[in-house]
């Protein structure tokens, strides 16, 4: 049955998919992250490369941030799989293509993609249309975050809270209230011992340099215009304190500098992630 025309992918999820694909076209190798399947899912118009938010030079730091956070998460998942973790939860999954790109890891995991019902129904249809299907190990968990308990929906999809898991939440916290972020931290901290949360957060705009502030204002304007404004910002020590208060056993901060050292050392094209979005890594 066709999905209604009013149902579509979130614009931010499409932009992330297009930036991943653009990396393979405009940036030099070695590539930080390889993903052209998201482009196939999004199926943009032929002129997508001419969109203002695809301009290679001005959007490079934001594109690099998307690439490095995706690479970091997948490296973390691969590491945890080797330690016996067999559940992976993506909060706000968007057009993530982990299951389709990394069958070597996905076949050792049950992957739970949590997202809004409309965009997820659209993605389900696109996976079927493109022949990828919905494998047994992929659980699409539709959640209306305004009215549903994502925790309850996750359990009903087969998630076992008594077994360790990796939970990833990237590019989400800035759209949620402080109360919602705090509640999410508390819920995830109750997972089985050995579980890991990898969550990105956005630092206050005044803590980044002038050129990045201009990029931030552009990004924040676009978010407001689309009805999804950025509303939550944290200093690193603040998010670490919230994680500890929520009950996590350990919590540490991963800075863009760490990601640059790990994934961008030796590059000659100047591609580097911006400072605005950073990582909280917390373990139960």
The pLDDT value given to residue 53: 87
The pLDDT value given to residue 146: 66
Angstrom distances, CA of residue 216 to CA of 26, 57, 150, 206, 277: 22, 15, 30, 10, 11
The pLDDT value given to residue 7: 60
Low-confidence ranges of the chain (pLDDT < 50): 1-6
The pLDDT value given to residue 229: 86
Give, to the nearest 10 degrees, the angle between helix 178-189 and helix 236-246: 50
Residue 136 phi/psi, 5° resolution?
Answer: -60, -35
The pLDDT value given to residue 105: 97
Query: Contact 12/230 with Cβ under 8 angstroms?
Result: no
The pLDDT value given to residue 243: 98
The pLDDT value given to residue 11: 84
* Single pTM value for the model: 0.93
Q: What is the DSSP string of 161-185?
A: TTS--EEEE-S-GGGS-HHHHHHHH
Question: At which residue do the structure tokens 């990394």 appear?
Answer: 102
Nearest to 7 by CA among 175, 119, 127, 149: 119
The pLDDT value given to residue 225: 77
Question: Token pair of 38, please?
Answer: 């998201």
């Amino acid at each position: 049955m066709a999905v209604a025309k009013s149902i579509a992918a979130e614009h931010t999820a499409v932009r992330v998919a297009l930036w991943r694909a653009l990396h393979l076209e405009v940036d030099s190798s070695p590539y930080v992250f390889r993903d052209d399947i998201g482009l196939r899912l999004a199926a943009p118009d032929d002129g997508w490369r001419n969109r203002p938010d695809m301009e290679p030079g001005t959007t490079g730091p934001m594109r690099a941030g998307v690439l490095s956070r995706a690479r970091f998460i997948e490296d973390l998942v691969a590491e945890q799989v080797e330690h016996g973790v067999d559940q992976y939860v993506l909060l706000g999954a968007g057009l993530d293509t982990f299951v389709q790109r990394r069958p070597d890891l996905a076949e050792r995991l049950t992957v739970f993609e949590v997202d809004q019902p409309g965009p997820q129904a659209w993605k389900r249809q696109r996976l079927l249309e493109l022949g990828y299907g919905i494998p047994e190990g992929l659980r699409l968990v539709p959640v209306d975050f305004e009215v549903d308990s994502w925790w309850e929906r996750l359990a009903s999809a087969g998630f076992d809270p008594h077994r360790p898991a990796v939970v990833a939440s990237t590019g989400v916290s800035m759209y949620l209230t402080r109360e919602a972020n705090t509640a999410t931290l508390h819920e995830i901290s109750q997972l089985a011992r050995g579980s890991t949360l990898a969550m990105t957060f956005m630092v206050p705009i005044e803590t980044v340099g002038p050129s990045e502030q201009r990029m931030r204002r552009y990004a924040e304007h676009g978010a407001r215009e689309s009805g999804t404004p950025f509303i939550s910002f944290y200093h690193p020590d603040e998010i670490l304190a919230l994680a500890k208060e929520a009950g996590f056993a350990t919590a540490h901060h991963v800075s863009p500098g760490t990601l640059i050292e790990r994934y961008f050392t030796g590059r000659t094209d100047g591609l580097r992630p911006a400072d605005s979005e950073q990582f909280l890594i917390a373990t139960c």
